[in-house]
Structure 1
Amino acid sequence: MLDTLVVSASRITENVASIPYTTQVIEGSAIAEQAQPGRNLGQILGQMVPGLAPGDDSATSAYQTLRGRKVLVLIDGVAQRATRDISRQLTTISPENIERVEIISGATAVYGAGATGGVINIITKRGQNQQSQFNTKLGMTLNTENTDSDGFTRFGSQTVSGSGDQVDYLVNVNYEQRGNYYDSEGNQIATDPNQVSRDNSDTLDILVNLGWQIDSNRSLRVSMEHYKEKQNTDYAADFGEPSATYLGLPSGIFAKGGDYTPTPKPGLSLNEQPQSTRDSITFDFSQQNFFGHTLLTQLSYRENEYFYYPYPSSPLFLNIDWAGVVAAGPTTTPQLLAAVAANIQGATGTLFQSQVNSEVLDFKLALDKPFKLGDGQTLDLTYGLDYIHDNSEQRSIAYSYNNWIASGQTEYQATGGNYDAGPATTTETTALFLQGKLALNERWTLKAGVRYEHADVEVDDTVSGVDIANAEYYQQELEDPYLQAIAGASGTPANLLLESIINTASNLYDYENYLIYSDSAANRTGGKETYSETLFNAGVVYALTQQQETFLNYSEGFTVPDLTRLLRSVTVLSDGGVQGPILEGTNIDASKTQSWDLGWRGRFSNISAQTSLFYNTSDQNVEFDRETGVVTIRKQDERFWGFEALLDARFDSGMVAGLTYARTQGETEDDNGSWYALGADRVAPEKITGYLGYSFNQAADARLQFTHLSDYKQGHHEAPDDQKSQVVPFEGYRTFDLITNFYTEAGNFTAAVRNLTNAEYYSVYNQVRGYPSGGASAYLPAQGRTLTLSYSVDY
């Protein structure tokens, strides 16, 4: 029988056989086998976890939903969420630092806000029970259709670890340098300006893990990590050529994927290229026999800093030749408007780069107490508290739009402006929880719990960068002598005249979301919002035999909205510059999720398997408009349901095989009570993965694996007209990988071929961002066939 695994993502160490929900543990050896240079953890887990949407080559995991919902990522039990959530948690840790990954699928009341789709707990490596040991690993990846050295990905890792009588230690330094990415035809893939691609970027990840066994009852662990990934490319993103259809603006701002083919633009000049930085320190203290309990405490602090790629966005401005308007000699309002229309020479825009900063202090305390009841029954109680203090902000760095256009979209000249992109927020969260597990007999185990969570979110006063840019432009425009002459001749103040012209043009060109007159920037006052929720969970496990169980579970989760991101859209374009509390007029309610899970799992002599049926529902729908960038929370129900299966088999002959299957469907209800399908950004396409491998007397092994994603259509219910553009379809694909390992006394060698058949396809992320508009620059193909060679040695 396969070894029974344990998980700690439920706060305490538990036997898998006693857990009433879908659980998966992926050991570090399996992670390492998939972790060739250039691959991130999101891509690896997307291959191995049935219900998790597939990963991609971008720096984001925003579209990697689990059962249609967001997943809460933990590192050594520390939640990586922040008030300003930018979804890079699965791409900002090196796979080389991972001991194992534990996945709980479905909403969980154990960890509170953010865990509506499940929990992914990443356990980092630590020193083993042995003398000092060193490991060196080197690797390189290249595209088989374009072997230019500019496309190489190079990787190096150095580890030292060990332990003494009372201490253990591990230091791991990982460095990866990625070059150009090439598609299946060997053509360089353009830079992605939306969520940022990982081509031409450098990554440094340093992990220090120290453990001290103070005595037989007490232990202390300190973990520190520094992660930094920064793009270092000479190629600018391609937003498309200026188009007369869009008043001379780059076509990619409004076009949909496929309208043009983005190509790399050499000559990029950008001082602050996209990057992700995470610095953290965590203290874990445990004590056995603490007044009859096991005491677990954790204190963690981390800082995050992220830069995006500069992006042309709202507001837009009309370039009007006022001298030409005067020359036309208009004497009536219709003549004036006609003269203005005839002298519009195109449009200009704004160019902002987002910078996100957050600081998070996290404290946890848990007490565990086992009780022996009569007739062999046992009761285990776990209770405690959580406290999180989070400061988050997002800023916009302004660049000269006209200089950018004149340079062919390659030169980003900072104007010196650094503005708010939504209000800064401070969140203080306190939670109390109680979990109980009752073993009635050898067959029946009951588990239930309750969690009360209270969050105070304080929103700062803010002046929107969009408002400031808008005001600065029109204040400058009002100084035009020809405009002043027209105003004087008409007897109308220049500001009122310009307001009338701009608002008329906004309606004429259907640019209400991008073009509006305002010569002053409003100060919007902040405020305080309080969220509190009581969450319940209850489940039962029935052991059919010693090797297999069936389970039924109900659990609740909830999500506190990302207020900085949500309120970023409160600008002159949305409210006409009306000053007032920024929290008014926008739905900022938390969303509650209810989740059911029915499953079976079995562990036999050479086979392990599990299946599950799931259903979850929530009371709100979050919509991201890819064209305007506006996030809206709608008061309409959502529901997801589906089936997952996993099978692994190992035979004495050395043969191994496995298969995963996942199908999810999701719908939301419109105002008329009709349900319509959600898009591929929320509903992961049907996914089948599998592998077949063979071990050659422990001297070598080989593994052939595949990933199949089915087409995803809009479903049998039509979306309302105002939401059809958000229902995103997906065109499926199939890829194969071959991984071979050779084990020698001089070290271990790996040769791996990704995308073995050199298939041409587009990832879920790239298809979603390029549909239906506002993201054509991100409609980029995936990498073609790549070859990886790596070497690892212990000494």
Structure 2
Amino acid sequence: MKKTLLSLAITSSIAPFLFSSVAIAHQSADKNIERVVVTANRTQTAISDIAGTVWLVDLEQIETQINAGVDFKNALAQLIPSLDLGSQSRANYSQNMRGRPMMVMIDGVSLNSSRGVSRHLDAIDPFNVARIEVISGSTAVYGGGSIGGVINIITKEGDGNHEFNVGIKSGFAGHDDLGTNLAAATSWKNARSKGRVSLAYSQIDAMHDGNGDPIMMDTTQSGLQYTQSLDLMASTTFKINQQQSISMLGQYYNNESDGKHGLYFGDNSGSLFGDMTGVGIRAGLESEHVPQTKRSLFNVDYQHLDFFGHNLNIQAFMRSEDFDFYPRPRLNSTQDAISSFSSSEQSTDAYGFKFVLNKKWQAVDLAYGFDYDSEEFEALQTYYDPTIAQASGGLTI
């Protein structure tokens, strides 16, 4: 399936007559420094000039949540008002803003697709996040996918420092109740350019609840138990002159199951018919498909601060992603036999560019331009022998 979209956007604001409801998640230590965001109008805009509710979540608050053992999507739910809490799965299906769907972006590149699979927040390691800009409520600037709001994840830039991070998490509920994180980054910065290269790896084994009992895997969107993730990112900014600059970002992200552990449905898959004896997570999974989120992203952003009296932004991007889902059973109409055992996968390729001009005339702030987006996706459903799958309790498929 292929989708192509060309849209024209014009927004304006008249400063003296608009009420700006602004909330900042963390105030700058220097009160004289005006915080600037790019999400609200697609150009650098001082928070005090934005007519709308904008939340700015900075690195310190993100790190506080992550270091306490909270996963990324639930850390955002703690920090962003009106954002629902997420589940223990890799999906953010249950998370809405103000009760409506939201758009998630990385440096202005949307992760939403025409066929949404709710893995927008399974997209980046928190180690690579500098801050998060949030528009609360619907906005015409980004189209229909943002009726609940926009979450724009801003990545770290080169500052000349080197980073190294090691983390271990455990609930002491067993030998495999362990999560580890390892991340490193190097960066440079001079008068003309800056850049950063980073590698972040994490591994999660078993998960347990407050009573010490194992948390069962989600066989709909798949859980995060027994998974490994890798986030490789490189970015650079080159200053052409005092008015012009160009930035580039490349990312490869992969979060997948270890391919060894799966949900055992009991002897002869009895749990599917009401007998929960022996149900649990076991090693020994044999399947052609394992849950996975794999994404490649490339973004180029050009800025001219005085283009015939305008602020000009041109952005070109490419996003390619593959989603695999856990094999799951389906019962027949009478609920007394397995009708099928299958898993699905989806591949999406999207690219486009954005052209935005911004001009201020005293009290009037006008932004206008156009977007071009093209998207193609393929979906595949793989069916397995239900007899073999049932006899193995769902482990051999």
TM-score interval (norm. to shorter): 0.7 to 0.9
Separation in 2, partners of 1:241, 1:407: 7
- Partner of 1:83 in structure 2? 114
CA displacement at 1:28 relative to structure 2? 1.3
What amino acid is aligned across from residue 357 of structure 2 in structure 1? Answer: L
C-alpha distance after superposition, 1:292-313 (max 9, x if no partner):
1111000000101010001112
- Partner of 1:408 in structure 2? 393
Separation in 1, partners of 2:235, 2:62: 19
- Partner of 2:273 in structure 1? 251
CA displacement at 1:266 relative to structure 2? 3.7
* Paired residues of 1:169 and 1:210 also in contact (CA < 8 A): yes
What amino acid is aligned across from residue 293 of structure 2 in structure 1? Answer: S
Separation in 2, partners of 1:226, 1:119: 23
What amino acid is aligned across from residue 140 of structure 1 in structure 2? Answer: I
What amino acid is aligned across from residue 305 of structure 2 in structure 1? Answer: Q
Task: Please show how residues 194-273 of structure 1 align to structure 2 within 5 Å.
Answer: 194-239=220-265, 250-251=272-273, 262-273=279-290
C-alpha distance after superposition, 1:109-142 (max 9, x if no partner):
11112001000011000112xxx42111111001
Task: Please show how residues 503-514 of structure 1 align to structure 2 within 5 Å.
Answer: none
In structure 2, stretches of 5+ residues that fail to align are 1-29
CA displacement at 1:182 relative to structure 2? 1.6
CA displacement at 1:188 relative to structure 2? 2.4
Task: Please show how residues 558-707 of structure 1 align to structure 2 within 5 Å.
Answer: none
SS state at 1:405 partner: helix
CA displacement at 1:96 relative to structure 2? 0.8
C-alpha distance after superposition, 1:178-236 (max 9, x if no partner):
11112223232222211110011000001101110011111110100000001115332
* Paired residues of 2:290 and 2:325 also in contact (CA < 8 A): yes
- Partner of 1:624 in structure 2? none
SS state at 1:169 partner: strand
Separation in 2, partners of 1:97, 1:173: 9
What amino acid is aligned across from residue 138 of structure 1 in structure 2? Answer: V
- Partner of 2:347 in structure 1? 357
C-alpha distance after superposition, 1:414-438 (max 9, x if no partner):
xxxxxxxxxxxxxxxxxxxxxxxxx
Separation in 2, partners of 1:268, 1:403: 13
SS state at 1:33 partner: helix
CA displacement at 1:238 relative to structure 2? 4.1
SS state at 2:145 partner: coil
Q: 2:50 aligns with which of 4, 15, 19?
A: 19
C-alpha distance after superposition, 1:506-530 (max 9, x if no partner):
xxxxxxxxxxxxxxxxxxxxxxxxx
* Paired residues of 1:239 and 1:251 also in contact (CA < 8 A): no
SS state at 1:42 partner: helix
What amino acid is aligned across from residue 379 of structure 1 in structure 2? Answer: V
What amino acid is aligned across from residue 7 of structure 1 in structure 2? Answer: V
Separation in 2, partners of 1:201, 1:234: 10
- Partner of 1:136 in structure 2? 164
SS state at 1:44 partner: helix
What amino acid is aligned across from residue 249 of structure 2 in structure 1? Answer: S
Separation in 2, partners of 1:88, 1:211: 29
* Paired residues of 2:226 and 2:261 also in contact (CA < 8 A): no
What amino acid is aligned across from residue 105 of structure 2 in structure 1? Answer: L
* Paired residues of 1:236 and 1:265 also in contact (CA < 8 A): yes
Q: 2:85 aligns with which of 54, 68, 80?
A: 54
Separation in 2, partners of 1:276, 1:187: 27
Q: 2:99 aligns with which of 60, 68, 74?
A: 68
Task: Please show how residues 717-756 of structure 1 align to structure 2 within 5 Å.
Answer: none
* Paired residues of 2:235 and 2:249 also in contact (CA < 8 A): yes
Q: 2:211 aligns with which of 185, 191, 197?
A: 185
- Partner of 2:370 in structure 1? 385
Q: 2:314 aligns with which of 285, 291, 297?
A: 297
Separation in 2, partners of 1:79, 1:389: 12
- Partner of 2:291 in structure 1? 274
- Partner of 1:153 in structure 2? 179
Separation in 1, partners of 2:328, 2:181: 31
- Partner of 1:632 in structure 2? none
Q: Which structure features the higher share of helix residues? A: 1
Change (3 A) 1:361 1:182: same
Separation in 2, partners of 1:4, 1:38: 32
C-alpha distance after superposition, 1:390-414 (max 9, x if no partner):
00122111111100111122111xx
Count of residues in correspondence between the two structures: 366
Separation in 2, partners of 1:362, 1:314: 42
Separation in 2, partners of 1:20, 1:216: 29
- Partner of 1:703 in structure 2? none
Matched, 1:370 2:367: no
Change (3 A) 1:249 1:190: closer
C-alpha distance after superposition, 1:133-163 (max 9, x if no partner):
211111100113x142x22111100010121
CA displacement at 1:371 relative to structure 2? 1.5
Separation in 2, partners of 1:204, 1:291: 44
SS state at 1:102 partner: strand
C-alpha distance after superposition, 1:692-713 (max 9, x if no partner):
xxxxxxxxxxxxxxxxxxxxxx
CA displacement at 1:250 relative to structure 2? 1.9
* Paired residues of 1:78 and 1:362 also in contact (CA < 8 A): no
- Partner of 2:64 in structure 1? 33
Q: 1:8 aligns with which of 31, 34, 38?
A: 38
Separation in 1, partners of 2:184, 2:271: 49
* Paired residues of 1:70 and 1:117 also in contact (CA < 8 A): yes
Change (3 A) 1:315 1:390: farther
Q: How much is the aligned-residue C-alpha RMSD, in angstroms? A: 2.3
Identical pairs, percent? 29
CA displacement at 1:273 relative to structure 2? 1.1
C-alpha distance after superposition, 1:628-659 (max 9, x if no partner):
xxxxxxxxxxxxxxxxxxxxxxxxxxxxxxxx
- Partner of 1:106 in structure 2? 137
* Paired residues of 1:37 and 1:154 also in contact (CA < 8 A): no
Separation in 2, partners of 1:206, 1:398: 33
* Paired residues of 1:370 and 1:381 also in contact (CA < 8 A): yes
Q: 2:337 aligns with which of 347, 351, 359?
A: 347
Separation in 1, partners of 2:161, 2:76: 28
TM-score, scaled to structure 1: 0.44
CA displacement at 1:267 relative to structure 2? 2.4
Separation in 1, partners of 2:50, 2:393: 58
Change (3 A) 1:90 1:348: closer
What amino acid is aligned across from residue 374 of structure 2 in structure 1? Answer: H
Separation in 1, partners of 2:375, 2:113: 7
Which of the two has higher C-alpha Rg?
1
* Paired residues of 2:268 and 2:393 also in contact (CA < 8 A): no
Separation in 1, partners of 2:300, 2:277: 51
C-alpha distance after superposition, 1:277-331 (max 9, x if no partner):
010100000112211111100000010101000111266699xxxxxxxxxxxxx
In structure 1, stretches of 5+ residues that fail to align are 319-345, 373-377, 413-795
Separation in 2, partners of 1:169, 1:75: 17
CA displacement at 1:240 relative to structure 2? 5.9
* Paired residues of 1:191 and 1:238 also in contact (CA < 8 A): no
SS state at 1:31 partner: helix
Separation in 1, partners of 2:86, 2:272: 29
Change (3 A) 1:70 1:204: same
SS state at 1:165 partner: coil
C-alpha distance after superposition, 1:432-461 (max 9, x if no partner):
xxxxxxxxxxxxxxxxxxxxxxxxxxxxxx
CA displacement at 1:34 relative to structure 2? 1.5
* Paired residues of 2:248 and 2:299 also in contact (CA < 8 A): yes
